[in-house]
Structure 1
Amino acid sequence: MTLPHPSPTEADHDRRRLRQWLAGQARADGVARRDLLRLAAAAGLAAAVPGVWSAPRAHAATAPGIVKALPAEVFTPRGTNAETRFEALAETGHLTPASHFFVRNHTATPQLAADGWKLTVWGDGLTGGPREFTLADLHRLPSTTRSAFVECAGNGRSLFTVQQGQQVSGTAWTLGAIGQARWRGVRLADVLREAGLARNAVDVMPRGLDSDYVTADGTNLGRVRRPLPLAKALDDVLLAYEMNGEPLPADHGHPVRVVVPSWIGIASIKWVGDIEVSATPLYSPWNTDFYRLFGPGHPPEGSAPLTRQTLKSAFELPWNAPLAAGTRHRLTGRAWSGAAAVARVDVSTDGGATWHPARLRDEPRRGSWVRWSTTWRPRATGPATLLARATDATGRTQPPTTPHNTQGYLFDAVVRHPVTVV
């Protein structure tokens, strides 16, 4: 059976969602009416707006909590989150061990028993009623293993302020809100077909089993969820139950999580408990209020919902690291792109005046980072600035600056890494 695909671009798909919402043919559970009106008005679709709306209920916030140890030499705690110190990756190899993998939580890590876990697949995009899958059911399906990075859309957010002098909101990540693992599980496409995927399905929305997310003003947005276009859901998305050859740790989605290669981290829902398959477009706060680009230079309604990650490169070196003059130093780092394999990395040790190619230490692959290295023998003492600039197989190269957006997403500029030669 050949299934129809959504519109060829996320922007087209987004406009179609809006038209269907305005016609009463789409749902937007947990999304404030003002946000959909803003999106619709800016898209020129503001006629015939439905007149009834149920406001989300407010509940007390859940106390945050991370299960695993967070040693100071590996992590920087950031509220409910834990950022990996990028220099701590230097000796970890190509894959990030769970002990070093960053944690992005909206609330607190739930500790769920694998033997009691069930996944419910439901919605009017199925040919029958809801279908439940246990972990044993998933293990009976063909397994797939894929190495892929997961990266928060706000990784590098603090550099908008530190490097570009621009204020942004959100967790002040440096560059450590990323990790790469070997994920093993089943293709989401196989599960959807087992559940009875209908020809008219357009959106697939996984939802986590962590507690409801309550904003600072007391608005309950419900459990974390974000729709995927059907084309992506049927492409390379995994329902993963292993990370680096072991069952998923609690902080990383035990017993099952979604892994959406190359897309922003919010798409890779942890602790997945149900998946809605819909014949009408879906909205959540995580593709309306959040994870769009807002601010000067962007449409009033914000950009289309963010999908693929951007292009970055970083040194595995502490900020303001002291380096001895007259000594040959081996500088290492990692580079990655959501669009294609990294093709090359160029390094400057003189603030960008001159550049030379670094050695790539891994075979470049789409959805995977590469480690790189170069050598430097500094002579003059004092402050110096190191730069690493990645280019991917599409020909895209990191720019000198990133256009500002108010929530600080997708920073992709060449990072000016300060060191001190002593």
Structure 2
Amino acid sequence: MAIDVLLGIVIGIILLVMVLGAIALDLNYRRKPGNHLEFRPGTWAITHQEGDRLHIQGDVELFNATEALEIMVPDVNADATLLSKASVADISCQIDVIAAHDDAPPRPDGYWFPYIIKARHRTHIKLNLHLSGPNLHRLQTLWLRLNYLTYGPGGRIPKTGHIVFPLQYPDADAAPNWLTKDNADVFPVKTHLLTHLDDPVEVIRRYVMPHAQSGDIITIGETPLAIIQGRLRDPITVNPGWLARRLCYWFLPTSSLATACGLQTLIDQVGAPRVFFAFLGGVGLRLLGQRGGFYRLAGEQARLIDDVTGTLPPYDQFIVLGPDNPQAVVDRIQRETGLSAAIVDVNDLQAVKVLAATADLPHRFLEIALRSNPAGNADEQTPVVLIRPRTS
């Protein structure tokens, strides 16, 4: 009898050790970054343009952000989409992908050999694009996808880095078209398609400062600013979890949270517990006759996320988050240009939300000046609005 009891205790201890060991392994796994290889779009420029030929060159970076893990890159290739107001059927696009490792020269035949990126190290990839054909001057935007395979502790994981490069720039010196509003004159400023290559202050210097005067106000849409900051997610990289797949059905079809990927993007930002309890709180407030409780409880990003189709091509293929630290952006604009500034979210329903504004700007003034949405919600490509308050 004593032997049976002792045997039972031993078996119990062994099972407990196995369970605790499995839990420890799982916790250790969850703490590991896996194939944490950061894609950095780098620098891009048109290097030659003549007649029916256009050459574009870029230099992108892959950075191993892990502390102690090596990540291999066995394969890299690229493809591109050209956006234009005319047909692109007669335009050919050749892309050369060239390894630019510090410690190994590229192969002359263009073959990409598997390369090991050590922890906290980086490597570069040069891309040469050769476009040829008629009507190249009508091209508006190049959307390039760099497809690279990562191989490491996380397994064999394909990834894609996106580069959006504008090919047309409007005339910054063109006469402004001022619109008269209740308390101000406003000028929706047309720009090139904004990308990660841009800086908000430089955009303002290029397109706004030629027309601005002392006392004017600059507003920038929250989505264009988020795009400049690179706050985009390819839905392919979003892995909807149990909560996102179930809660998304409870949102209106027009909401950016009505898809599993859109809601998972919010969960990735603020955490599953907050989203779950915001949902329960929102239901409770709805029963008490109060709408919008979920969005108040889930945080600002819940209102700002734009799901697929929410903005201009090619960004309509992405989930766009709200901008990061908009207050710092407007403070910098005022410091470097001398003009007051605000980051706003405006729609065609006369709803104006001021995300951030310099200290001298009353929100009510901005709401009145912008409630007709002078920037538009279609393809106007006017992400900046210059406001000139009336003195009388």
The TM-score with structure 2 as length reference comes to: 0.21
Length-normalised TM-score, structure 1: 0.20
Higher fraction of strand: 2
More helix by share: 2
The one of the two structures with greater contact order (alpha-carbon pairs below 8 A, sep at least 6) is 1
Q: Which has the larger radius of gyration?
A: 2
